[in-house]
A and B are shown apart, each in its own frame.
Chain A
Amino acid sequence: MKKSLKEKLAESRQAYAATGCYAGLTELRLLRSDPIKAELFHSRLLAALIAGREMTKMISGSPYVREVAELAIGLYTPEGDNIAQSTGIQAHSRPMGEAIQWMIESDWEEKVGIEPGDLFWFNECSIAGMHPADVYDILPIFWEGELVAWVCTVIMEMDIGAVSPGCMPAPNVERATDGVRFAGEKVGVRDTLRHDIVMKCEMSFDMADMFLLDRKGAIAANLHVRREVEKLIGEFGLEWFRGATQELIEEERRNQLARLRQRTIPGRYRSVASFEYYMAQQPTSWLPAKRDVIRLAPMETRIEPWGRVVLDFEGAGEWGWHSFNATPSGMWGCLSIGVVQTLSYDGRANLGSLLPFELELPRGSVFNPEDTRPLAQANIWATTIETFSSWTTTLSQAYFMRGFREEMLGFRSAYSIAMMGYDQYGQRRPLLAACTGTIGSAASAVRDGLDPGAMLPTPEVDRGNAEIWETFVPHFDLSHRLDPYSAGAGKYRSGLCMPIMNLIHGGREIVGSALVSGGAYGILPNLGLSGGYPGGKLIRAVLHDTNVDQLIAERRPLVHELGHPADPDYARLIDAHISHPHHIPEPFELANGDITIDAHGAPGGFGDPLERDLEAIRRDLENGLTTPEIAARMYGAEARYDERSQNWWIDEEASAQRRKEKRAERLARAVPARAFWAARRRQLETREIHPLISEMYASSMRLSERFAQEFRAFWALPAQWRPEVP
């Protein structure tokens, strides 16, 4: 009798539990017996997926797909385990499988029916996925009446029917407010969307045209992959296909373990992240949501003797009524992109890349709320990117110790202004331009970081063409310049960021909010290595009632770069009423002529800045990537511009003297760690702590007695010590 998908899934899991090998495969019989055939097989699978993705980009109309390419396609076993993944946003390889597995375990086969040509949608991220804007198009693949694989495409939507403002609304805290959700609904048969579903979309979304065009792109991609899989089965045979796809997962599990043992050092690594959720002033009617909180995320990574890696978040603070909570599925998603960007970047990444990892996510914490169903989840990236940016710094430390200094790579989150209103064509739309591609990468131990283009969610980062965005969003893009002040200083500096500067133009009745893909604001992320500093805080400015029309008429400069953060260009060049909203701003009105600015801080530098090569500083000056003020203040370099030769010149002798003075000044100002410990301990004991910080520690201690004990032990505080809760 034919086994059900549910039985197959249970058997596969039991086999893994019993052997530690995927599907119980203790041997890679097919892949080893004919490696050339195996390589050909894999490259054809991968080519089918990548070609499918490119096809979607040609069909879709959304700049999120065509410009930024926030999409990916994965192939899955009948049990929902990822076999191969296209290029693109790598977060979804495991969550898409979890969505399929949820359908299998929820008796879809029996109660909904899974037939050839059936189309399913999924963005119910309380079960699997990142946030509602990421929609999965799922298609089963059959061979002679048997389901032999699934193909799944994810596309990020510009509009998912969320309550305004935007498609990733920050002020909305309940699930019904952050968009339409699909939980494996059968939306089509015989490769065609149902008419009633199409009508529902047209009713539900302001940008139904974009949503449905994206579906056409996804369906075309899925059909292409299905066709290629059918060809492969025809050529290689079903048994070979079935066996080889499972072996690809087990092979990658083994390869990942080998990579970890080859490139890292076993042991315990620690770091910390924190997230600031400022919700007290947000216009929500759900009173429990109206509070400002900071949540702590201590992170312990243990690389075990046989190579398994445990990420332990004991001490993480509690979940809350906001749209920034993570979920286990989202954490796995973000881990998978971290892993693809740093370890498994050879095109073979699949579920096997993740099998050597374990996530310990305390129940009730911001990483694992007890019940995610009532919560809005539009901004899960805020928490996950912050967390895994910190984790990649930890992995860089391991790479450094093992000697692979060129492999060190780090990230930081990005923010931009999201809007809702009437666009330049008079249509009511969420108006969200991507902020991808604006952030530099962290430095490695052998070179400066990448000037912008580093983004944790995708290795293929692209900000897109400004001119295309300007046709979708009523603004003009004022800057694509590198900001010297964004760098994390160090012997090797981080890459630089591009500030996002937009002049509102052509729309009306626009409300601004934020695209929040990070949780850090007032507390800098801990991203520096070996004496390198993290870049600074996000600088967000909104210029209202500007004199832009007059400046344009008089042909005088507008604002195109940040300038010195203490004397920014926007305040000097433009007459305006200036506000500085924080990273999760309360919604505000925007009018034509207003200017929005987001100037980001980069991740971390590497090494003592006073050891930066003077020639590297001179080169940065020549290229406009640093300023003489930064050179002197951060690097102790005496630079001057020679008008005659039109070159920058650095006085080596004066720089050596200045560096010597700076070292002496450091020693004069520093105290033994013991003195710092005693002073801080006294402040904690007498509770001289900001109420938000006090509540942050209290939240972690409510969930974790182990964290509370470790905290008290480090500061030698009495056993009954608890932070005050305001």
Chain B
Amino acid sequence: MTLSLEDLADLIDGRLPWPQVKAIVSAPKDDDRFQRLLGILQGRVKWPERILLPLGDHLYIVEKGDQRVVKCDCGQEFGDWRSNWKLQALVLVRDDEASLQEIWPGRSAPDAKLCEVREYLCPGCATLLKVEATPFGYPIIFDALPDLDVFYREWLGAPLAHEIASEDQSLATIRQWSAELKGSIT
């Protein structure tokens, strides 16, 4: 079921009434949904870079020269897409009773001894980009590392100009932090 651009825009803005959303869910999927959605999103951002993939409500992987970076719609950049964008975010950590109670009052709060909740914020616009609830001390989660070139080349049949292997580069940042930490200790 191919949606009109107006209906698609209304759908992603949460403006379509439920009976219409239900009909879309029940109908066969539209093969060109991704490209049409990208067109709408591209028309809404204020910066010129080409959107390659939406990562979240405000986050995108964009083409910047021969690089691909994660970018917030406010313009804030979070570095190479192959490195977890959360490492470049601000984080509000809830790991004590008082801060957890702000969200989950009384007995609905998780156990501060066992659980931590990390809220990743955009330094540019203070938007809450991701809430992560984990056991205490669990590494920051790299939610999604899309294989962009396989997707564009093999699934969409429209290869990207500069192919880049989809390998997790997050540890490079960790190594840099570790070196800085050792430097500051010595």
A and B associate: yes
Which of B26-34, B42-50, B63-71 makes up part of the contact surface? B26-34
Q: Quick one: given A272-B134, A522-B111, A526-B132, are A403 and B37 in contact (CB under 8 Å)? A: yes
**Per-position contact with B for A142-168: 1 when CB-CB < 8 Å, else 0?**
000000000000000000000000000
**Per-position contact with B for A607-650: 1 when CB-CB < 8 Å, else 0?**
11111010000000000000000000110000000000000000
Q: Quick one: given A265-B146, A693-B136, A714-B139, are A530 and B90 in contact (CB under 8 Å)? A: no
Q: How far is the CA of A394 from the CA of B170 in the complex (A)?
A: 20
**Per-position contact with A for B41-60: 1 when CB-CB < 8 Å, else 0?**
00000000000011111100
| Complex interface: chain A residues within 8 A of B128 (CB) | 531, 608-610, 666
Residue of A nearest to B180 (CB): A674
Partner of B114, one of A303, A677, A692: A692
Residue of B nearest to A716 (CB): B178
Residue of A nearest to B31 (CB): A262
Asked if A266 contacts B174 (CB within 8 A), the reply is no
Please indicate which of the listed interface residues B119, B132, B145, B155 has the most CB atoms of chain A within 10 Å of its own CB: B155
Residue of A nearest to B173 (CB): A674
Is A40 an interface position by the 8 A CB rule? no
Q: How far is the CA of A531 from the CA of B132 in the complex (A)?
A: 9
Interface residues of A in 523-581 (CB under 8 A from B): 523-537, 539, 564-568, 580
Q: How far is the CA of A713 from the CA of B21 in the complex (A)?
A: 45
Partner of B34, one of A403, A525, A534, A609: A403
Residue of B nearest to A607 (CB): B57
Is B183 an interface position by the 8 A CB rule? no
Q: Quick one: given A271-B141, A710-B139, are A716 and B177 in contact (CB under 8 Å)? A: yes
Is A111 an interface position by the 8 A CB rule? no
Residue of B nearest to A269 (CB): B144
Asked if B24 contacts A523 (CB within 8 A), the reply is no
Partner of B90, one of A265, A671, A689: A671
Asked if A445 contacts B103 (CB within 8 A), the reply is no
Q: How far is the CA of A715 from the CA of B57 in the complex (A)?
A: 29
| Complex interface: chain A residues within 8 A of B89 (CB) | 673
Interface residues of B in 117-142 (CB under 8 A from A): 117-121, 123, 125-142
Is B186 an interface position by the 8 A CB rule? no
| Complex interface: chain A residues within 8 A of B31 (CB) | 262
Is A406 an interface position by the 8 A CB rule? yes
Interface size on B, residues (CB 8 A): 86
- Overall SS of chain B's interface: mixed
Partner of A613, one of B14, B25, B137: B14
Partner of A266, one of B101, B137, B155: B155
Asked if B131 contacts A305 (CB within 8 A), the reply is no
| Complex interface: chain B residues within 8 A of A305 (CB) | 147, 150, 154
Interface residues of A in 266-319 (CB under 8 A from B): 266-272, 274, 276, 294, 296, 303, 305
Asked if B144 contacts A397 (CB within 8 A), the reply is yes
A616 vs chain B, min Cβ distance (A): 8
**Per-position contact with B for A236-273: 1 when CB-CB < 8 Å, else 0?**
00000000000000000000000101110111111110
Partner of B130, one of A407, A528, A536, A716: A528
Asked if A404 contacts B144 (CB within 8 A), the reply is no
A678 vs chain B, min Cβ distance (A): 6
B76 vs chain A, min Cβ distance (A): 12
Asked if A672 contacts B146 (CB within 8 A), the reply is no
Q: How far is the CA of A261 from the CA of B33 in the complex (A)?
A: 13
Interface residues of B in 138-174 (CB under 8 A from A): 138-148, 150-151, 154-155, 166, 168, 170-171, 174
Asked if A690 contacts B136 (CB within 8 A), the reply is yes
Asked if A711 contacts B147 (CB within 8 A), the reply is no
Partner of A714, one of B166, B174, B181: B174
Partner of A663, one of B56, B126, B133, B140: B126
Is A601 an interface position by the 8 A CB rule? yes
Asked if A696 contacts B103 (CB within 8 A), the reply is no
| Complex interface: chain B residues within 8 A of A398 (CB) | 144
| Complex interface: chain A residues within 8 A of B14 (CB) | 446-447, 492, 613
A138 vs chain B, min Cβ distance (A): 34
Q: Quick one: given A403-B37, A447-B14, A673-B91, are A397 and B171 in contact (CB under 8 Å)? A: no
Residue of A nearest to B15 (CB): A446
Q: Quick one: given A294-B135, A407-B25, are A633 and B113 in contact (CB under 8 Å)? A: no
Asked if B143 contacts A271 (CB within 8 A), the reply is yes
| Complex interface: chain A residues within 8 A of B131 (CB) | 528, 531-534, 604
| Complex interface: chain A residues within 8 A of B5 (CB) | none
Q: Quick one: given A401-B144, A523-B115, are A716 and B181 in contact (CB under 8 Å)? A: yes
Q: How far is the CA of A120 from the CA of B86 in the complex (A)?
A: 54
| Complex interface: chain B residues within 8 A of A674 (CB) | 87, 177
Q: How far is the CA of A299 from the CA of B77 in the complex (A)?
A: 28
Q: How far is the CA of A700 from the CA of B128 in the complex (A)?
A: 31
Interface residues of A in 678-705 (CB under 8 A from B): 678, 680-681, 683-684, 689-690, 692-693, 696-697
A646 vs chain B, min Cβ distance (A): 26
**Per-position contact with B for A487-513: 1 when CB-CB < 8 Å, else 0?**
001011000000000000000000000
Is B6 an interface position by the 8 A CB rule? no
**Per-position contact with A for B75-89: 1 when CB-CB < 8 Å, else 0?**
000000000001111
Asked if B146 contacts A536 (CB within 8 A), the reply is no
Partner of A539, one of B101, B108, B144: B108
Asked if B106 contacts A523 (CB within 8 A), the reply is no
| Complex interface: chain A residues within 8 A of B147 (CB) | 265-268, 303, 305
Asked if A404 contacts B29 (CB within 8 A), the reply is yes
| Complex interface: chain B residues within 8 A of A697 (CB) | 137
Asked if A537 contacts B155 (CB within 8 A), the reply is no
Q: How far is the CA of A294 from the CA of B38 in the complex (A)?
A: 43
| Complex interface: chain A residues within 8 A of B114 (CB) | 276, 294, 522-523, 690, 692-693
Residue of B nearest to A447 (CB): B14
**Per-position contact with A for B1-29: 1 when CB-CB < 8 Å, else 0?**
00000000001101010100100110001
Asked if A684 contacts B21 (CB within 8 A), the reply is no
| Complex interface: chain A residues within 8 A of B129 (CB) | 530-531, 608
| Complex interface: chain A residues within 8 A of B86 (CB) | 673
Q: How far is the CA of A268 from the CA of B14 in the complex (A)?
A: 28
B145 vs chain A, min Cβ distance (A): 5
Q: How far is the CA of A402 from the CA of B109 in the complex (A)?
A: 34
Partner of A524, one of B18, B88, B110, B130: B110
Instruction: Please provide the 7 A-B residue pairs with the shortest distance between their CB atoms, ordered closest to farther.
Output: A522-B111, A536-B108, A565-B106, A566-B106, A536-B104, A267-B146, A670-B90
Could you write out 21 A-B pairs with CB less than 8 Å apart? A265-B147, A266-B155, A267-B148, A268-B166, A269-B145, A403-B54, A523-B111, A523-B115, A524-B117, A526-B132, A536-B109, A565-B105, A580-B107, A666-B92, A666-B126, A670-B90, A673-B87, A673-B89, A673-B90, A690-B114, A714-B140
A: residues with CB less than 8 A from B are: 259, 261-263, 265-272, 274, 276, 294, 296, 303, 305, 394, 397-398, 400-407, 445-447, 485, 489, 491-492, 521-537, 539, 564-568, 580, 599, 601, 604, 606-611, 613, 633-634, 663-664, 666-667, 669-674, 676-678, 680-681, 683-684, 689-690, 692-693, 696-697, 710-711, 713-716
B: residues with CB less than 8 A from A are: 11-12, 14, 16, 18, 21, 24-25, 29, 31, 33-34, 36-38, 53-58, 86-93, 101-111, 113-115, 117-121, 123, 125-148, 150-151, 154-155, 166, 168, 170-171, 174-175, 177-178, 181
Q: A406-B11, A715-B139 are in contact. List 9 more A-B contacts (CB 8 A).
A: A267-B144, A272-B134, A272-B141, A537-B110, A670-B121, A673-B91, A681-B181, A713-B171, A714-B174
